[in-house]
Amino acid sequence: MFPHHTVVRLQDTDAAGILYFANQFRMIHEAYEELFDKIGFGFARLIKDCDFFLPIVHAEADYTAPLSVGDKLEIIISIEKIGQTSFILNYRLTRAGQVVGTAKTVHVSIDKRTKGKISLPPPLREALTKVK
Q: Give me the half-sphere count of Cα atoms (radius 13 Å) on the Cβ side of residue 101.
A: 23
pTM: 0.93
Residue 132: predicted pLDDT = 66
d(CA 53, CA 30): 17
CB distance 131 to 79 below 8 Å: yes
State how far the Cα of 70 lies from the Cα of 122, in Å rounded to an integer.
41
CA distance 16 to 3: 29
The model's pLDDT over 5-38, given as tens digits with 9 standing for 90+, comes to 999 999 999 999 999 999 999 999 999 999 999 9
Neighbour-count burial for 70-82, b at 16+ CB within 10 Å, e otherwise: ebebbbbbebeee
Which residue numbers are catalytic?
A: 14
Domains of the chain in sequence order: 2-131 (3.10.129.10)
Contacts of 102 (CB under 8 A, 6+ apart): 61, 62, 64, 90, 91, 92, 93
Phi, psi (degrees; rounded to nearest 5) at 66: -70, 145
pLDDT digits (tens, 9 = 90+) for 85-128: 999 999 999 999 999 999 999 999 999 999 999 999 999 999 99
User: How confident is the model at residue 1, as a pLDDT?
Assistant: 85
